[in-house]
């Protein structure tokens, strides 16, 4: 039997009809694809929010660095909130400038000391300011993606000149 005869035979004998297979495949794969895309966009939103918060805190730290020891916490908070492109960022926590003797590698700040004192290695203590900002990320798919509503936090310690 030739190919043309086979095609005629298939149409007339009630051979398998596969016209709805594509619709069925789409119905099965579309929800899975939608969940994957929603999870990817949720993850992208989380990374963008973290980046925006880190940028705002960096702007506040840069302002504090340039201003020096006369910097005030409300001014740093205002700079951070203006620099953030996120809506609803609460006022960041800004510590009062304090003197510390950094030690170790990487350097860590020990207990506060008086600014007129001398550190154990003979150097003068530095004046530092710590900035902590938080943002609550609202997830697109809180129960499905696993991200949920999470808090993104960024902390920076800057030495004032």
User: For 21-76, how does the pLDDT look when each residue is reduced to its tens digit (9 = 90+)?
Assistant: 888 899 999 999 988 888 888 888 888 989 999 999 999 999 999 999 899 999 99
Q: Which of 140, 159, 139 lies closest to 149 in space, CA to CA?
A: 139
Strand partners, 127: 99, 160
Q: Which of 135, 139, 157, 158 lies closest to 148 in space, CA to CA?
A: 139
**Tens digits of per-residue pLDDT, 119-153?**
888 888 999 999 999 988 877 766 555 556 778 89
Q: Name the pTM for this structure.
A: 0.74
Token representation of residue 69 = 């020891």
Report the C-alpha gap between 48 and 64 in whole angstroms: 24
First-to-last CA distance in the chain? 93
**pLDDT: which is higher, 36 or 17:** 36
């Amino acid at each position: 039997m030739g190919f043309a005869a086979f095609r005629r035979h298939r149409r007339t004998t009630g051979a398998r009809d596969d016209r709805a297979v594509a619709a069925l495949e789409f119905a099965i794969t579309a929800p899975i694809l939608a969940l994957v895309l929603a999870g990817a966009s949720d993850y992208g939103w989380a990374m963008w929010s973290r980046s925006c918060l880190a940028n705002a805190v960096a702007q506040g730290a840069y302002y504090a660095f340039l201003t020096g020891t006369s910097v005030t916490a409300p001014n740093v908070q205002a700079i951070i909130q203006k620099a953030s492109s996120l809506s609803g960022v609460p006022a960041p926590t800004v510590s009062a400038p304090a003197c510390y003797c950094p030690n170790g590698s990487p350097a860590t700040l020990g207990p506060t000391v008086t600014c007129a004192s001398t550190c154990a290695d003979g150097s003068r203590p530095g004046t530092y300011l710590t900035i902590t900002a938080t943002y609550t990320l609202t997830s697109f798919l809180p129960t499905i993606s696993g991200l949920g509503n999470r808090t993104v936090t960024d902390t920076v310690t800057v030495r004032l000149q």
